[in-house]
Amino acid sequence: MINTTFIFRTTLMSICLAGIMSGCSMNPNKPAALTIAQQGNFAAGGKIITSEGNFDDKQLFKPAGQTLHGDHASVFYQIPENPHPYPLVFLHGAGQSAKTWGTTPDGREGFQTIFLRQHFPVYLVDQPRRGQAGQSTVGAEVPATTNDQAWFNMFRLGRYPNFFKGVQFSQDPQALNQYFRQMTPNTGAYDEQVISDAMVEVLKRSGDAVLITHSQGGGPGWWTAIKSNQVKGIVAYEPGSGFVFPEHELPDPMPSATGTLAATPIKMADFQKLTKIPIIVYYGDNIPTEKNGYAGQENAGQDNWRVRLKMAQLWVDKINQHGGHAQLVHLPDIGIYGNTHFAFSDSNSDQIAQLLVDWLQKNKLD
């Protein structure tokens, strides 16, 4: 019985791997139905704070003597039938939420559904103090600051109002509208330790898993793998901050048009934990490099990524120097052009997904 199931699934998987562009369907116009064994939500981790005094149930909203539950992650998960052993746990970037991994801005299936079709359980995290995990143990102001154009440039769609030539982003105005509306603010201070503490608890629920991070999620991603031995691999799309280095082997800080990027010093024993698991880091196109003559360096939104790509290369080298298994893929170097800061939801997201499928397979994480 087990063998039959295994063969059946292996056959299905082969068809699916070949058919990823059509959503694993016999009819390319209508993707096959998804078969979900289980789905649901949970909160993971978090803290409880308490105000001094006594609760008075005649004055319900007087804080005295009351508690507040906050700083947890909020997770939506879906487990397909015949799942791979390792779930994929997705952690979004700055100003984003679990929605990042859903439908793409131009309305196609996102990594959430693409990888369900590939029989991976998916765990989609709203990090502490963001989205549906908004209840925070520290207060915050949420100003309604106009900044769409800043993100347009920072996320390398182009140099506002112009898109980059050949950018992997739909020119339909509705796609840009959906993209801007993915943003959702912090409801408490961003804190890598608070986030990674909650992520450790997410992993306890998901079981051993592959962690997939985006941008600002990179930093808490490394910390999650330092704090938990349940992270079996990390895939980081354009990590943007929190590059951890052994405290006595720090690279020089790197000035850029958006400020100076400095490494985060950590204990060697912590750093070494990151050398035990396979790690892959992807960066997209339109990043100024020596190779392309620093084209675009005068645009702050692009220059921000010049130093991050450089730092990421030093970081990967440092991991490997200490016996690790890290790899940096700058997509143009393998002939994939036009990707923005969101390769996984770009117009060529099926191609980007296939790279990940191959990497998971190569590292026996499927």
Site for its own copies in 125-164 (CB under 8 A): 126, 130-150, 153-154, 159-160
- Cβ closest to its own copies, residue 268 vs residue 295: 295
User: What is the closest distance, in whole angstroms, from the C-beta atom of residue 198 to its own copies in the complex?
Assistant: 11
Please, are residues 26 and 52 in contact by the beta-carbon 8 Å criterion? no
- For the record, the structure tokens of 356 come out as 């990940």
Q: Using the rule CB under 8 A, give the single segment among 28-36, 208-216, 260-268, 328-336 that binds its own copies.
A: 28-36
Q: What is the C-alpha separation between 103 and 100, in angstroms, rounded? A: 8
Q: Which residues from 80-99 bind its own copies, rule CB under 8 A?
A: 81, 97-99
Q: What is the C-alpha separation between 211 and 41, in angstroms, rounded? A: 18
Bridge partners for 233 per DSSP: 210
4 touches its own copies (CB under 8 A): no
Query: For the chain, first and last CA: distance in Å?
Result: 21
Work out the burial of residue 347: count CB atoms within 10 Å of its CB; fewer than 13 is exposed, 13-18 middle, 19 or more buried: buried
41 touches its own copies (CB under 8 A): yes
109 touches its own copies (CB under 8 A): yes
320 touches its own copies (CB under 8 A): no
272 touches its own copies (CB under 8 A): no
User: What is the closest distance, in whole angstroms, from the C-beta atom of residue 56 to its own copies in the complex?
Assistant: 9
Give the total residue count for the chain. 366
Of 24, 70, 114, 312, the one binding its own copies by CB under 8 A: 70
User: What is the closest distance, in whole angstroms, from the C-beta atom of residue 353 to its own copies in the complex?
Assistant: 16
What phi and psi values does residue 231 have, to the nearest 5 degrees? -85, 115
Q: What is the C-alpha separation between 256 and 361, in angstroms, rounded? A: 37
- Cβ closest to its own copies, residue 35 vs residue 361: 35
Angle ∠(166,172,174) on CA atoms, nearest 5: 135
Q: Which residues from 331-350 bind its own copies, rule CB under 8 A?
A: none
- Cβ closest to its own copies, residue 142 vs residue 268: 142
Of 15, 18, 21, 49, the one binding its own copies by CB under 8 A: 49
The SS3 call for residue 212 is: strand
Q: What is the C-alpha separation between 306 and 152, in angstroms, rounded? A: 17
The helix (run of H) or strand (run of E) holding residue 115 is helix 111-117
- Cβ closest to its own copies, residue 8 vs residue 55: 55
Of 300, 329, 354, 363, the one binding its own copies by CB under 8 A: 300
- Cβ closest to its own copies, residue 58 vs residue 165: 58
Q: Which residues from 165-194 bind its own copies, rule CB under 8 A?
A: 177-178, 180-185, 187-188
- Cβ closest to its own copies, residue 141 vs residue 290: 141
Of 18, 37, 268, 295, the one binding its own copies by CB under 8 A: 37
Of 34, 94, 175, 262, the one binding its own copies by CB under 8 A: 34
User: What is the closest distance, in whole angstroms, from the C-beta atom of residue 173 to its own copies in the complex?
Assistant: 12
Residue with tokens 């939500």: 41
Work out the burial of residue 141: count CB atoms within 10 Å of its CB; fewer than 13 is exposed, 13-18 middle, 19 or more buried: exposed
268 touches its own copies (CB under 8 A): no
- Cβ closest to its own copies, residue 13 vs residue 250: 13
Bridge partners for 279 per DSSP: 234, 326
Neighbour count for residue 167 (Cβ, 10 Å): 21
Q: What is the C-alpha separation between 31 and 233, in angstroms, rounded? A: 29
Of 16, 24, 76, 227, the one binding its own copies by CB under 8 A: 76
Please, are residues 203 and 230 in contact by the beta-carbon 8 Å criterion? yes
Residue with tokens 């068809």: 15
Q: Using the rule CB under 8 A, give the single segment among 57-65, 234-242, 289-297, 347-355 that binds its own copies.
A: 57-65
Q: Using the rule CB under 8 A, give the single segment among 38-46, 165-173, 263-271, 321-329 that binds its own copies.
A: 38-46
314 touches its own copies (CB under 8 A): no
Q: How remote is the C-alpha of 356 from its chain's centroid?
A: 13
CA dihedral of residues 235, 346, 131, 93 (deg, nearest 10): 40
